[in-house]
Structure 1
Amino acid sequence: MKFPVPAFMLAFALALSACASAPVAPVQTVDPASADPALWVVKDEDTSIYLFGTVHVLKPGTVWFDDEIGEAFDKSDKLVTEIIEPEAGSMTAKVASLAIDLDGPPLSEKLDADAKAKYLAAMTTVGIPYQALERYKPWMVGITLAIAPLGKLGYDAELGADKVLNAAAKAAGKSIGALETPEQQLGFFNGLPEDQQIAFLNATVDGLPDVDKDFGELVNDWSAGNPEGLADKMNESLEATPELAETLLFQRNQNWAGQIKTMLDTPGTIFIAVGAGHLAGEKSVQDYLKALGIQATRVPHHE
């Protein structure tokens, strides 16, 4: 199965959806859909750490925060996510400081003739004047294009698992931590060589016609608790874009595994929530934990 937009790249773009300026269109509530996402746990004598893979946008009515996931969250003293999302104005300033290129040529002039024609057509399709983004770096425009269609397809960032968990942690008075800073996350993309940024943008453009089907299948695998399915969909894109995979996925997974090992030194229970792609396939967080001598065990599902 071909995924023109590498699955892990789309997931990471969604993690940074707060950086994009396009508003999410309001959607109608649908009948509840039961989801049973995967959950893992690592333990020692006095510490339990749950690992939960999230989807950053979901459709209204998706029911997932129950059963073993709800129980694990309730037992946890602390929630840890990829980042602690800053205030909107602060995030806008952080993006502007990194994503705007005032010195180079306009974005459309950085693309070859064929890629430029496809890009301009894609911008028309999603309803964004290309002139408005001419001074942005390719990675930022790729993120904007990746998430632009999802609101019209019924997905809502406010219903993403990360936001729901953060709200629940605040309501319950749990402490909240993060594995990275917003500056670090933005820096992963901003630090990519320009040719890789353009490759990401071109892949996003090529994948737009299939985004409903492709992203829907990713969400279905997540809902079914099927990390193997997520991994299968990622494999082709990982092979096709090894440099991006190393920067945006593998290095971060390895770093997070080291942080989790350190967390085991402090007694208590922690609920870690990161994008589902980080917990699927080879070189997942679980694989790097295993290399450190730490076994992550899948928590059995129960009704």
Structure 2
Amino acid sequence: MFARIGKAILTLGAAAATAFALPASAQDDTAQVNTYSFTQDYEPSPAIWRLADEDTTIYMFGTIHVLPEGFRWRSPEFDAIVEEAETLVVETSDADSFSMLNAVHPKVNRLTTSSGSISASLSVANQQRWREFIETTGAPFTMVDQMPVLVALLSYALTPVEDGSSFEFGVETVLERAFAEAGKPVESIENFGHVYYQIVREPREPLIADLERQLTQWGGKDAAGLFDPSTDNPTGDEYWSMEHAWARGEVQDDFDLGFGQGAVGEAFHDILIVRRNREWAEWLEERLEQPGTILLAVGAGHFEGSDSVLRFLVDRGIPAERIH
């Protein structure tokens, strides 16, 4: 379950991982193969939507940012769209990500310096639990303790697991490489530095109160149990169930980032889901005014749940058509 929470966050905000470097959990090669092997006895058919008017076509494709080598996700229909599209639009392109984050670092550093450590705001009992929680992730405690609350919690969600997944095999990396080789432009739908700054500047007091409550209830066995006490450790194809469902074209009615129903979960949902999907729907409506054919490839979670980008398009009177 811990890796599944991490993958969900990656599906919505992979660029946040560039803000800090965390060690991967170690595992011998034999155990890794046995634990994370997968099979695909189906032909991939991920979901595709289309927005169009008389001179503009926008194909929308939900992605997974990190995948294991050999995981199949392309369909003939999707490949035809890649050939047709004149421009690829992703959340934040590789070319833009570092400059966008670097631009907000001075403001981020000022906020971080002025807020003090997380542990200093916790009760004495939970100061030790907080240290134990961070240590289960393998991250340096002092570094994480000085982060803004939401960034620190992202550090646990984004702790790498040696399951064979890599950005190298993720959808955006593959598509950006293909469009670059074809001489076609790649654009960003948002400035992720702005999103990251929203994460950093979220009011601290309610987040600390929620963290205090979660630490009090935490069983202390592993990091995943902090927000979800019913965690398990799936293996094989069960471990890859989210990826398999996506590759089959399944779209869930609900989407949960895995941070509970308190202030932390509400903040992540608002910043990473609601605000972005609302802004993207506005961007899509404006982009329809420009002639041409584009492929929008963003995290699959943005097309799921009651606050999906599809819902905000409906609110604007321009519902998307699912074509695959």
Distance 2:254 2:96 in 1: 36
> In terms of mean alpha carbon deviation, does 126-135 or 198-207 score higher?
198-207
Give the match's secondary structure for 1:40.
Answer: strand
Alpha-carbon deviation of 1:31?
6.8
Classify 1:91/1:10 alpha carbon distance in 2 versus 1 (closer, same or farther; 3 Å).
same
Alpha-carbon deviation of 1:222?
1.7
Tell me the amino acid that sits aligned with residue 218 of structure 1.
M
Q: What CA deviation, in whole Å up to 9, does each residue of 1:158-180 have, x standing for no partner?
A: 32212222122111111111111
Distance 1:98 1:217 in 2: 39
Which of 147, 168, 176 matches 1:166? 176
Which of 256, 280, 289 matches 1:265? 289
Answer yes or no: is 1:219 the counterpart of 2:243: yes
Classify 1:133/1:99 alpha carbon distance in 2 versus 1 (closer, same or farther; 3 Å).
farther
Alpha-carbon deviation of 1:155?
2.0
Q: What CA deviation, in whole Å up to 9, does each residue of 1:83-104 have, x standing for no partner?
A: 1235786577457535542233
User: Number of paired residues?
Assistant: 297
CA contact (8 A) 1:58 1:157 kept: yes
Partner of residue 154, structure 1: 164
Describe how 1:90-169 pairs up with structure 2 within 5 A: 90=99, 93-94=102-103, 96-100=105-109, 101-113=112-124, 115-150=126-161, 152-169=162-179
Partner of residue 63, structure 2: 54
Tell me the amino acid that sits aligned with residue 278 of structure 1.
H
Classify 1:93/1:216 alpha carbon distance in 2 versus 1 (closer, same or farther; 3 Å).
same
Classify 1:242/1:269 alpha carbon distance in 2 versus 1 (closer, same or farther; 3 Å).
same
Partner of residue 191, structure 2: 181
Partner of residue 18, structure 1: 18
Give the match's secondary structure for 2:295.
Answer: strand
> In terms of mean alpha carbon deviation, does 16-25 or 157-166 score higher?
16-25
Tell me the amino acid that sits aligned with residue 252 of structure 1.
R
Distance 2:20 2:129 in 1: 21
> In terms of mean alpha carbon deviation, does 182-191 or 251-260 score higher?
182-191
Classify 1:168/1:116 alpha carbon distance in 2 versus 1 (closer, same or farther; 3 Å).
farther
Describe how 1:242-253 pairs up with structure 2 within 5 A: 242-253=266-277
Partner of residue 69, structure 1: 78
Classify 1:298/1:92 alpha carbon distance in 2 versus 1 (closer, same or farther; 3 Å).
closer
* Structure 2 unpaired stretches of 5+: 216-222
Classify 1:192/1:254 alpha carbon distance in 2 versus 1 (closer, same or farther; 3 Å).
same
CA contact (8 A) 1:36 1:225 kept: yes
Answer yes or no: is 1:232 the counterpart of 2:254: yes
> In terms of mean alpha carbon deviation, does 4-13 or 258-267 score higher?
4-13
**TM-score, with length taken from structure 2:** 0.76
Tell me the amino acid that sits aligned with residue 18 of structure 2.
A
Tell me the percent identity: 26
CA contact (8 A) 2:104 2:194 kept: no
Coordinate RMSD, CA, aligned: 3.7
Classify 1:220/1:232 alpha carbon distance in 2 versus 1 (closer, same or farther; 3 Å).
farther
> In terms of mean alpha carbon deviation, does 240-249 or 272-281 score higher?
240-249
CA contact (8 A) 1:85 1:182 kept: no
Alpha-carbon deviation of 1:51?
0.7
Distance 2:52 2:12 in 1: 28
Give the match's secondary structure for 2:314.
Answer: helix
Classify 1:188/1:6 alpha carbon distance in 2 versus 1 (closer, same or farther; 3 Å).
farther
Distance 2:123 2:132 in 1: 14
Distance 1:135 1:143 in 2: 13
Tell me the amino acid that sits aligned with residue 244 of structure 2.
N
Distance 2:308 2:121 in 1: 34
**TM-score, with length taken from structure 1:** 0.81
Tell me the amino acid that sits aligned with residue 175 of structure 2.
L
Alpha-carbon deviation of 1:208?
8.2
